[in-house]
Structures are given as structure tokens and as C-alpha cells.
Amino acid sequence: MGGITGNAVALRVSVGILVLLAFVPLLHSSYDENLVRGVLMFATLSFGWNLIGGYTGYVSFGNVVFFGIGCYTTAALWQHWHQQNVVLSVVLAMLVAVVFALVLGIPILRLRGHYFAIGTLGIALATQEIIANVDWLGAGAGFPVRPLDAYLVYFYAMWVVCAASMLATFFIARSKLGYAFVAIRENEEAAAVLGVDATRYKVIAWAISAAMAAAAGAVFAGANGFIDPPTAFATDDNVFPVVMALLGGVGTVAGPLIGALILTAINETLWSHFPQIHTLFFGAVIVLVVLFLPRGLLWLLNTRGGWKGFVRTLGAYRV
């Protein structure tokens, strides 16, 4: 079954890569550790986005708000209660994020298409602004967050969070829940006629994606050592996961991880060769990805007709 989980070979390869990544600390290079921890973080964010944007078809442009919530949970736990326990902050972050998603989800998921996308963007921007005005959360200046001495914990925590997200996506995709999501994406009205309570399942999808993003944020905050509004709600953390899912394949299980790997590789290459204008090149990369891979690499592998078929798909959306 290629469809709802994606290309089976790619899935096995991705699991293999994920397992291999767990051994990176053996290289004893903190640069590599940080790099791979970044990949795992972005992959997690992308898995989260993929559930609401890829599987359910509700393109969120504000999932970074949940990442930010995760960051601030860890930061608050340290600042106010001197807690550094990673498991505690991850669990608490997920809880807060899910509540946030449930409360806001009901009004915001009534919007569709462009309205939903910009609405979620608005939520992310507004939350960032509001936190910048709340002293208890450090306001504009932010908080330092003291990392654990056993810094390696953060690497493995991020790995666990990423692996759990991928596993969750896999099981959800094959389950009744996954089919509810996809039915909503394909035709929300027809899905209702078939008994799918769209409101309920949209909110569930968004809540799960919130939990994933928050878990990533909770680990990141400890590793980063410092949290302020621009760090917690960075545009990169909002957009990269979407581009990664697009690159790897929206609505597949392995897509987010593959996209995270490739895009990080490209980003690192650009950083090391063109430090001044790497963001400029990154913009170009985004443009190219969108133009040539409208649904991502994994869907490309399934396109019929080889090269000619591929070229034909390029012209499908023009006037």
C-alpha cells in the first residue's frame, strides 16, 4: 500500500537513517551533534505540520506557536521552579500546547484555505507579541535557561521525540483516524455524509501536531540555553518544516524526515560557502522546490510516465 503512508522503500530507508543518526554522538563532535539535533528538531516540527497540513489538508502557517509554547514551558520551569528535568518539561509542554490547540482550534478550524493559513499565522504573531509583554515570561528580554551538565541528554531526547513523532505518524496514517484526516482533505462535505465528524477530527489533528511541535520546543530550549520571543517564534521554525514536508512529500510518513535531511544539507552547504547571502540562496531553493516538486519527492517517485510524465506535471497548473 503506497498511498497513505507513502513509498514503502523510502519508509524503510528513512527508518534506517533515523537509527543511524542515533549513533552520531560517537563521533565526539559537538558540531555534528548540534547539526543532527537540528535535523531531528526540524523533522519533528515537519511531522507535526504534516499531520494537519499534509494529511488533513489544512495548511497551517502558524505551527511555530506550539514550538514557542514548548520553549517557554521549559524556560518557565527553570526560571520559576528551578526544574531541569527534560521529561517533565516535554510532558508539560505537550499538555499546554494541546489545551491551547483545543481552545483555539474550535474557532480557527472553521476557517478554510487562505483564511485558515493567515489565521494561524496571525495566532503565531499575536502570541509572540503578547508574550513579549508578559513579565512572568521574561517579556521582550527573555530568560536564560540553564542546560543540564549532561548535555548529551538533549540529543537523545530530541531523537526520542523525533522517532516518536514518526512512529505516531505511521500508526495514525494506517488507522481509522488517518483515514478520517485524509477524507477531510479530499472532500470535507462528502466525508461528513460518510459519518466523519470533521470538526472533531480537525481539532484532533491540530492537537497532535501541537504536541509534537511543543515537545521539540521543550527540548530545544534546554539545549539552547536562552529563550526570548524571536528565538521561540522564529520564522525559520515556522516555514522550514513546511518546505521540508513539501520537499520530502506531503501526506507521507517518511517525507518530513527526508525533507529535513536534504534541506539541512543544502542549508549547511550554503552557510559554509556563502555566509553573507545564504538566506538569499535559501529563498531561491524554496522557489525551485515549489516550482519543480509541487507535491514532494516521494510523490515524484510514484509519478507515471518517467521523465515525460514528470515534465507534463510541471505544466499542469499554469494558464
Partner 1 sequence: MQLFAQDLVNGILVGGIFAVVALGFSLVWGIMNIINLAHGAFVMLGAYTAYVLFSTWHIDPFVSVPVGFVLLFALGYGIQRWVINWVVRAPLLTPFLLTFGLSLLIINVVLVIFHGDTRGIETAYSGSNFSLGPVTVAWTKLWTLVVALAITAVMHVWLSTSRTGRAIRAMAMDIDAAQLSGVRVSHLYAIVFGLGAGLAGAAGVLISLSYSLQPSMGDPFVITAFVCCVLGGLGTVQGALVGGLVYGVLGSFGAQYIGTGLQDAVALVVLLIVLIVRPRGILGKATA
Partner 2 sequence: MSEFLSIQNVSMYFGGLHALEDVSLEVERGSVLGLIGPNGSGKTTLMNVISGVYKPNSGGVVFAGKRIADVPTYAVCRLGIARTFQVVKPFANLTVRENVAVGAMYGREGGRRSTRASFERAQELCEIVGLSHVAGRLASELTVPSRKRLEVAKALALDPEVLLLDEVMAGLNATEVDEAVHLLRTVNERGVTLIVVEHLMKAIASISTTIVVLAEGKKIAQGAPADVLASPEVVEAYLGSRYAARQRQRETPP
Among 26, 31, 82, 194, binds partner 2 (CB under 8 A): 194
Shortest spacing between CB 69 and partner 1, in angstroms: 16
CB atoms within 10 A of CB 277: 11
Query: Is-contact 159 34, C-beta < 8 A?
Result: no
Q: Is 299 in the site for partner 1 (CB under 8 A)?
A: no
Q: Is 175 in the site for partner 2 (CB under 8 A)?
A: yes
Q: Is 109 in the site for partner 2 (CB under 8 A)?
A: no
Q: Is 190 in the site for partner 2 (CB under 8 A)?
A: yes
Shortest spacing between CB 77 and partner 1, in angstroms: 25
Among 104, 108, 180, 207, binds partner 2 (CB under 8 A): 180
Among 131, 183, 223, 260, binds partner 2 (CB under 8 A): 183
Task: Return the CA Rg of the chain.
Answer: 19
Rounded to 5 degrees, what are φ and ψ at 79? -65, -40
Among 20, 87, 99, 126, binds partner 1 (CB under 8 A): 126
Shortest spacing between CB 204 and partner 1, in angstroms: 21
Q: Is 315 in the site for partner 1 (CB under 8 A)?
A: yes
Q: Is 115 in the site for partner 1 (CB under 8 A)?
A: yes
Give the span between the Cα atoms of 197 and 44, in whole angstroms: 27
Question: Judged by CB under 8 A, which stretch of 10-18, 103-111, 172-180, 253-261 contacts partner 2?
Answer: 172-180
Q: Is 203 in the site for partner 2 (CB under 8 A)?
A: no
Q: Is 114 in the site for partner 1 (CB under 8 A)?
A: yes
Q: Is 53 in the site for partner 1 (CB under 8 A)?
A: yes
Shortest spacing between CB 252 and partner 2, in angstroms: 12
Q: Is 283 in the site for partner 2 (CB under 8 A)?
A: no
Give the span between the Cα atoms of 195 and 173, in whole angstroms: 19
Q: Is 242 in the site for partner 1 (CB under 8 A)?
A: yes
Q: Is 274 left (phi over 0), alpha (psi -120 to 50) or beta?
A: beta
CA torsion through residues 73, 204, 107, 185, sign:
positive
Question: Judged by CB under 8 A, which stretch of 8-16, 72-80, 93-101, 277-285 contacts partner 1?
Answer: 277-285
DSSP string, 206-226: HHHHHHHHHHHHHHHHHHHSE
Which partner in partner 2, partner 1, none is near 192 (CB below 5 to 8 A by kind)?
partner 2
Q: Which residues bind partner 1 (CB under 8 A)?
A: 53, 59, 61, 107-108, 110-111, 113-115, 117-119, 121-123, 125-126, 128-130, 132-133, 140, 239, 242-243, 246, 250, 276-277, 279-280, 282-287, 289-291, 294, 314-319
Q: Which residues bind partner 2 (CB under 8 A)?
A: 3-4, 174-176, 179-180, 182-183, 186-187, 190-198
